[in-house]
Structure formats: C-alpha cells, structure tokens
Amino acid sequence: MRHRYLTLSIAAIAACSPGESRTRYEAPESFPAVASGDTLVAPVVHVSQAAPRSDGSWVILGVEEMSVLVADFAAGTVIPHPGVTREEVPGVVSMMASGDTIYLSDYGLRRVTGWLPDGRRIDAVPVPDATRGSYPRARDAAGQWYFEFPPRPGPDGRGVLDSLAVVRANSTLTTFDTIARLAPPAVLEVEQDGRPRLAQLQLAGRDLWGAMPDGTVWLGRIAQNQVFWYPPSGGKPASTRPLPDPIVTVTEMDRQIYIRRYPEAQRAALEQAVFSAVKPPFERAFADRRGRVWLFKSAPALDTVRTFQVADTTGWVMSVTVPSYGVALGISDTEILMGEEFPEGIRLLRFAIPEAARP
C-alpha cells in the first residue's frame, strides 16, 4: 500500500523537534487542580461525552455501548439513567445538556429526546431529512439547535476534502443558517489493490466547537491553535491570536491505546488504520459559564500530568494542570471530570478547579 499526503502541513509540523513550540510568548500563571480522592468505574470502553448536574452527579455517554449512565459520587454508584431504555432510545449517538436536562440524539428513531433527572421524557423532536443524517450537537437557551454538516462526498468520494459547516436551526428545525466553517478532516491518499482511495488520519484531531446559552458559538481551530467566538447577532467573530503549543509526535503506544478504546471485534481492522505523524494541539475543548474556552492539551502517551489552556477573547489567560494520565470528560463551575482507562472500564475521577480559575 502506497501513501501520499494531500497536504504538506502535517509533514512540516512533524519535522519540528518534540517539545518545540509553534508560537513563542510568555506563559501566564498555572494553577494545579486537586483530586477529590473518590473514584467510580463506568463499565464502558470509552466515554464520549459527560454533563454535570446541580446535585454534583455526572451523566456520561458510553457511545460504543450506547449506554447513558449517571455517576453519583456521593452515593458511590454508576447506574443507567432512569427512563432511558433501549425501547425509548435504541440508537443514542450523542448527548447534550441544558441545566439538568439532557438531550439524546437517537439514530434508531431519528429523533432527539429530552430527559429530566427523574427519568421523565419531556421532549421528542423528529430530525428532518434536511439535516442529511446529522444530529444536533448543542442547544441554546432560546431552543435553537446547532449541527455539524459534513460535505457531500460526491461520486468519487473527494468531496470530503471540503470544509464542514456549523449550522444553527430554529426550534422547530425548519430553517437553517451557516455560522462557521470547520477545516476538513486530515486524510491521506492511499493506493490499495491498484486503486486510489482516501483514508482519514487517526489521532490527527479536528476543529471543535460548541454553543453557549446566549447563542454565541465558540470554535477551536487546531491548525492555528486559536479560538473564535461568533456572536449570536452575526458579524465578525472575536478571537485569540494563535496560542503556543509543543509538538507531540504520535508513538506506537498512542496507536495501541487508541485501538483499545474500541470493542474487541473492531480492533483487527483498526490495526490497518493510517495514523497522523503528530498530535493536534488540543484533544478536547469545553466552555465555562463565563464564556472562556478550556483547551485540553495533547501530551505524550500516559503522561501523568495533563494541562488545560484557558482562553478568552484577550488570549491565553491561565493554565490548569491535572495530575492524571486520563482524558478530560467535562468541566463544571467547581470541578473537572477525568476518565482513566481501567480493566473494568473507565475510572472516573474528580478534580477541584482552583479558586482563581473558577468562572
């Protein structure tokens, strides 16, 4: 199998030495987060999303198992979310939250359902054909929905090289407006069985975004390591300047950790996947109540301290470090939820956000 990069930026980045920063300026103050001491184990191979609730518990989505769970640290339990059964939600693919209400996108019944903590279903919204198979990723306080629309592949499949669109829809899902464009996924052209095809690079990262209650859309771009805020009224977005980040290469350990995150039946096929040469500047991103965006930075495999860059429209305002080798699952006003891979599933740990970093 022969490979050819469709863009040269990845190769150029890989030529930098590990730890070399793409942008240089003085770093702001860094604050350490402190572990709470209690842990729980979620019986899933991967937690794709998590949402805090006002009682201190967290709702988590194990997307491979299509499992919606409530992690209650006070009770020491991880249990299925009340009311969310396979009959009600046979194919959950994503989750979002508005206060204590969660919304589940369900490809099985092609709808979005809203659920209260006690298990009552309060909404069931059919997803129209106009979304082309996409499901909402966010909802604001006015009830507007936010989608990510991929480009049409086209007859030769090369349409995937076009940008993705962040789209706002009204509460009834009848009108749609494009808010921003995302970078296309990193791909490689490979020759297999004498024919060219496009293969997506694993661990290359992707632009990340979300919507705030007032309708502001934030967007973290991995190519520039830069954050943008699109106002709900339209107009030019505010942004940071490009933020500094070290170059972190993808190693064999990273590849094996990635493959283990999938069910065992899928792992043999993933052994043939094509991986990026370097990691993106951040793996995940979250917005807090003040509108700041917390960029969860990439790090070498099994690094025992992970870092957030916290940014607002003035730029990089602080860092927060977490003594864990895990992945950031979510933030609340007072704590960070981390997930560490464990033989029985994902070990959930809470870390108190330092007072100086709280919204």
Contact 289, 312 (CB under 8 A): no
List the CATH number of the domain containing 155: 2.120.10.30
The answer, yes or no, to whether residue 16 has pLDDT greater than 70, is: no
- CB neighbours of residue 191 within 10 Å: 12
Q: In this predicted structure, what is the pLDDT of residue 260? A: 84
Average pLDDT over residues 106-129: 96
Find the length of the chain: 359
Average pLDDT over residues 37-49: 94
Q: In this predicted structure, what is the pLDDT of residue 246? A: 83
Helix H or strand E segment including 253: helix 252-260
pTM (2 d.p.): 0.90
Average pLDDT over residues 186-192: 79
User: To which residue do tokens 């499901």 refer?
Assistant: 135
Strand partners, 335: 352
Average pLDDT over the chain, rounded to whole? 90
Q: In this predicted structure, what is the pLDDT of residue 189? A: 80
How many independent structural domains does the chain possess? 1
Highest mean pLDDT among 14-23, 170-179, 263-272: 170-179
Q: In this predicted structure, what is the pLDDT of residue 196? A: 76
The answer, yes or no, to whether residue 8 has pLDDT greater than 50, is: no
Average pLDDT over residues 190-198: 73
Number of helices (H) and strands (E) in the chain: give both, helices first.
3, 28
Q: In this predicted structure, what is the pLDDT of residue 188? A: 85
Contact 222, 245 (CB under 8 A): no
Contact 38, 214 (CB under 8 A): no
Q: In this predicted structure, what is the pLDDT of residue 305? A: 97
The answer, yes or no, to whether residue 193 has pLDDT greater than 60, is: yes
Q: In this predicted structure, what is the pLDDT of residue 5? A: 38
Domain that holds residue 250: 2-357
